[in-house]
Amino acid sequence: MNGNPALGVLFHWIGGFSSASFYVPYKRIQRWSWEVFWLAGGLFSWLIAPWTFAALRTHDLLGVLAAAPSSTLFWCWFWGAMWGFGGLTFGLTMRYLGLSLGMAVALGLTTVIGTMGPPIFAGTLGTIAASTSGKLTLLGILITLVGIVVVARAGSAKERELASTGGSSAGVAEFDLRKGLAIAVFSGVMSGCFAWGLAAGQPIRDLTLAAGTDPLSQGLPVLCVVLAGGLTTNALWCAWLIVRNRSFGQFFGAAADPQTGGKVPVLSNYLLAALGGTLWYFQFFFYTMGESQMGRYGFSSWTLHMASIILFSTIWGFALKEWQEASARTRTMVWTGIGLLVGATVVIGAGNMLNAATG
């Protein structure tokens, strides 16, 4: 099945918008420590939403997973757990390298590792590169990397301008190139492991298709296993922080800082965490739908995913007036980067459509 690459690109864009939007509800949570709202929202992201939507949209979910080879289940879970380490260390990358260099290294590596890893391990990269459609798809991946670097440089320029005018942003106070690069490489490689987990789940896709699941939803059972790995890593880290910071009581109404007083809006916080967590899950809900339409070049889905996240995150930044004080030159730079990312999705989509037409 070749699928419909144009529809696939649309699904990836919807997923990217969901990923770029999930933190907006989180920012409205009040009087909860990071580890509390991250775990509360994460339970919806990594557990409740995946199993709910997989149960609703696939056939015999438990039977399919029970019939899957144990090695498949392990590798899906394992790569999900490794991806969890990447997400947890991404913030440290920004801390030691700053926005520009940190994003360029971490997101660039995530894009390359997540995109190129599966075809390299499957031994299909040479065949892909030998075809015209494959060359076009790989060109789109390269344009994506250039776009990431341009957007990152624009972000760095904005930070410097705000710092020089006494804005709310300071420079990289803890800049450490050696330590930062080491963490950025680790974060980038680990974050790209999510795509490897999805690739490892092909036997699960085959089983759920055989059970009568619609091809659009074939990746949802795989997400249940991969995200269980992510839940493992993040839950352990949050549990350690909760114990260290004695913040468990916040789940039941205790304030993060008792000295400030005030009532904790527990119900509102849980609803916002649920909304943010479900929005986060939707990025991969639509990712799997998009991937199902990309045919032989499904590996390019990870590039489309990363490009759309950066695209819509930047647009949200403009909507929230984060770029209001940036110079015209810096705004032009970021829009150039956005243009490259949009162009990259068009090129990748064209490569996939050409493959579908000739395949």
CB 32 within 8 A of CB 272: no
- With b meaning 16 or more CB within 10 Å and e meaning fewer, what string describes 70-106? eebbebbbbbbbbbbbbbbbbebbbbbbbbbbbbbbb
CB 159 within 8 A of CB 169: yes
Q: What is the pLDDT of residue 271?
A: 97
DSSP secondary structure letter of residue 182: H
- Compute the CA torsion angle 31, 34, 35, 41 (nearest 10 deg): 90
**In terms of Cα–Cα distance, which of 1, 7, 3, 9 is closest to 348?**
9
Which residue is listed with tokens 């972000």? 155
The type of residue at 284 is F
126-135 long-range contacts, Cβ below 8 Å, gap at least 24?
128/296, 128/297, 131/355, 132/354, 133/297, 133/351, 133/352, 133/354, 133/355, 133/358, 134/297, 134/351, 134/355, 135/351
Q: What is the pLDDT of residue 171?
A: 47
Q: What is the pLDDT of residue 99?
A: 55
Quote the crossing angle between the two packed helices 202-210 and 70-122, to the nearest 10°: 120
Report the distance separating Cα 324 and Cα 11, nearest Å: 30
pLDDT by residue for the chain (359 residues), tens only, comes to 557 888 888 998 999 899 888 888 988 998 899 899 999 999 999 999 999 999 999 999 999 999 999 999 999 999 999 999 988 887 677 667 665 556 667 777 777 777 777 777 667 778 888 888 888 888 988 888 888 888 878 877 887 787 776 554 444 556 566 787 788 888 888 888 898 899 899 999 999 999 999 999 999 999 999 999 999 999 999 999 999 999 999 999 887 665 555 678 999 999 999 999 999 999 999 999 988 887 777 777 888 888 888 888 888 888 877 788 889 999 999 899 888 988 888 888 787 777 766 65
Q: What is the pLDDT of residue 350?
A: 80
Q: What is the pLDDT of residue 357?
A: 62
Its pTM stands at 0.81
Domain boundaries, the chain: 5-358
Q: What is the pLDDT of residue 228?
A: 97
